[in-house]
Structure 1
């Protein structure tokens, strides 16, 4: 039978979110109901609330989640009730042109649950990134459930569902950081600090963290930055060049997503180096670069979607690294809160006071 549970809903642009009752249907074919244990508060949820994704209100927010599978629908074989899972928003189809070429991380037809969760009056909800996990339970496509070692803290594991995976993947998967590389990361919030951690995991010899806020630079130090640059008082391109023998970094990761930070990343890389854009720009942003510089500097300009990850491969691997003591996932959890605290958590996030607030249910 459908279940009535608590969920955090955004009804209109600019309005505070509200905790209300939602209806979760029984799972249909290819679907699963997950008992949510934790869910991180991500900037993407704030973008949904502010209409920055689309205007398909009301939204059921939350997507960086971990929990236990409660029930599965017909035809589901990959997970079963009782499995501890991290939710992902890349449930690959296996059939599109990217999947047929073996590039599952670029699947063009990732799928979500066919059924919709609703308000009590029957109004259909749009789940954030097809997940909607600021709720006691959520309905997802079974392919959005990735089994990981249950020994990991749910609060830490859930963050792999978006921001931490995006940052680590930007360095390891998209940027291809390798042993001895020099890396610069512009923007040291949750995604940027994860990029720092990813670069160190990959064996970078020098990781330069850039931000306007000394507090965030301290966070970056905790995750392995070897040098920090406060861009409020120091010109970042010159600083990065000065720390790399005058050449620039092999890989520069823009975890902010503004035209000015992308331009800094472009000029802060070595000849033949790589720029990775993982910070999410807004639709109105425009970039202008001299085409001769684009040609003359060579290298690669890349965008990183979800850290170019394959959840079934990357989530268990990163959890294992954490359990081995090689990746501090717990360090990304600034505080644990309740569903009632989501609106204030958005405010703390905007003020740069936390890496991640995590809702514990």
Structure 2
């Protein structure tokens, strides 16, 4: 039987979100209903509210979540009721050209639940990233549920569902940071500081955090940065070169998503170095670089999609590292809040006051 629960809805571009009653249908074939325990407040949710992603209002926001599977539909074998799971937005299809070439982390046909959750009047909702987890319960494709160690904290575990995984994966998967490498991370919000942590996990010898906010730089030092640069008062390119013997970093991770910071990343890397773009730009942004510099500096210019992660591989591994005390996911949880505090959390996010606010159910 369909259930009615409370969820955070964005009805129109730029309007404050509101809590409304939503209807969650029983899971159909290949689907699961998950009782949400925690969901992080991510910039992507704010982008949905602002109409920066698409205009398929109304949106059911929230996607950085962990919870317990309540029920599953026909044919579901990967999870069962009672499983503690992290929700992901890369439910691989297994049939597209990327999957068939053995590269499911690039799946080009990821899927979501086929049924729609609705408002009480029957209006269909668009769940953020196919998840919609600012709700007591949500309907997802079963492949969006990744089973992990149930002893993990839901508040910390859920953050792997988006921002923290994007940052760690930008270093480990996309950037292929290796032991002894030098790494610069430009932009030290939640994703950037996760990249700092990923570089530390990989064994980087030098990790240079770059930001305009000293508070964020202090957090980066706690999470593994060996050096910090305030780019409001110093030229970041010159500073990174100075800290790397005049050469530039082996890997530069751009976690802002702006043309200015991308250009800084491009010139702050060593010859044959790697630039990783994990910050999300807006559709209107453009960049211009001398093509001779693109050729002459060599190396690789990469974009990181979701940290190029494979949830079934990466989530359990990172949760195990967290449980062993080797990955401090709790450091990203600045505060825990109630469902009705999401709009206030967006404001704190805008002002850079938090790494993550996490809704607890």
Common fold: TM-score over 0.5: yes
In structure 2, the residue matched to 1:13 is 13
1:108-123, aligned counterparts within 5 Å? 108-123=108-123
Structure 1 CA distance for aligned equivalents of residues 252 and 303 of structure 2 = 12
Structure 2 CA distance for aligned equivalents of residues 323 and 127 of structure 1 = 31
In structure 1, the residue matched to 2:59 is 59
Structure 1 CA distance for aligned equivalents of residues 34 and 74 of structure 2 = 15
In structure 2, the residue matched to 1:246 is 246
Structure 2 CA distance for aligned equivalents of residues 247 and 112 of structure 1 = 45
Establish whether residue 308 from structure 1 lines up as the match of residue 297 from structure 2: no
How far does residue 195 in structure 1 lie from its aligned partner after superposition? 0.0
Structure 2 CA distance for aligned equivalents of residues 150 and 53 of structure 1 = 33
Structure 2 CA distance for aligned equivalents of residues 263 and 312 of structure 1 = 34
TM-score (norm: length of structure 1): 1.00
Segments of structure 1 that go 5 or more residues without pairing to the other structure are none
Establish whether residue 333 from structure 1 lines up as the match of residue 333 from structure 2: yes
In structure 1, the residue matched to 2:275 is 275
In structure 2, the residue matched to 1:344 is 344
**SS at 2:155's partner residue?**
helix
Structure 2 CA distance for aligned equivalents of residues 41 and 321 of structure 1 = 23
**SS at 1:292's partner residue?**
helix
**SS at 1:166's partner residue?**
helix
TM-score (norm: length of structure 2): 1.00
Establish whether residue 292 from structure 1 lines up as the match of residue 292 from structure 2: yes
How far does residue 163 in structure 1 lie from its aligned partner after superposition? 0.2
**SS at 1:279's partner residue?**
coil
**SS at 1:316's partner residue?**
helix
In structure 2, the residue matched to 1:90 is 90
In structure 2, the residue matched to 1:262 is 262
Establish whether residue 201 from structure 1 lines up as the match of residue 201 from structure 2: yes
How far does residue 159 in structure 1 lie from its aligned partner after superposition? 0.1
1:311-326, aligned counterparts within 5 Å? 311-326=311-326
Structure 1 CA distance for aligned equivalents of residues 96 and 25 of structure 2 = 29
In structure 1, the residue matched to 2:218 is 218
Aligned residues between the structures? 361
How far does residue 222 in structure 1 lie from its aligned partner after superposition? 1.1
In structure 2, the residue matched to 1:132 is 132
Structure 2 CA distance for aligned equivalents of residues 360 and 215 of structure 1 = 25
Structure 1 CA distance for aligned equivalents of residues 204 and 156 of structure 2 = 24
In structure 2, the residue matched to 1:45 is 45
Structure 1 CA distance for aligned equivalents of residues 54 and 331 of structure 2 = 32
Provide Cα deviations, 1:332-353, integer angstroms capped at 9, x if missing partner. Answer: 0000000000000000001000
Structure 2 CA distance for aligned equivalents of residues 244 and 200 of structure 1 = 17
Structure 1 CA distance for aligned equivalents of residues 97 and 114 of structure 2 = 22
Provide Cα deviations, 1:241-296, integer angstroms capped at 9, x if missing partner. Answer: 00000000000000000000000000000000000000000000000000000000
Structure 2 CA distance for aligned equivalents of residues 350 and 149 of structure 1 = 33
| Off by >2 Å, runs of 4+ in structure 1 | none
**SS at 1:326's partner residue?**
coil
